[in-house]
Amino acid sequence: MPLFRITVKTAKNSNGVRIEKGMSVDVVSNSFNNPVVTNGGQSVIDAFYRIYGIDIKKAGALSTVYLDVKKIG
């Protein structure tokens, strides 16, 4: 199962949620596809909530415009 590192590219403040450039999470995926677009990005949403306590979807940042995805394993 591949491991992806998702990193915030740019700071954003939206809907009362603040994300900062450089915030990152690691996500294990059952698929070799980008986890941001796979299954509605739920694994990425869960990881950001677990690590930072923020809802990345509510912030409107669940997109490759705001998130950099790298396969690391």
DSSP at 14: E
Render pLDDT for 15-73 as a digit per residue (tens, 0 to 9). 999 999 999 999 998 888 999 998 999 999 999 999 999 999 999 999 999 999 999 97
Could you tell me which residue, 38 or 6, shows the higher pLDDT?
Answer: 6
Instruction: Report the predicted TM-score, pTM, of the whole model to 2 decimal places.
Output: 0.91
Helix (H, G, I), strand (E, B) or coil at 20: coil
Confidence of residue 1 (pLDDT cuts 50, 70, 90): confident
- pLDDT for position 7: 97
What's the CA gap between 31 and 58, in Å, rounded?
Answer: 24
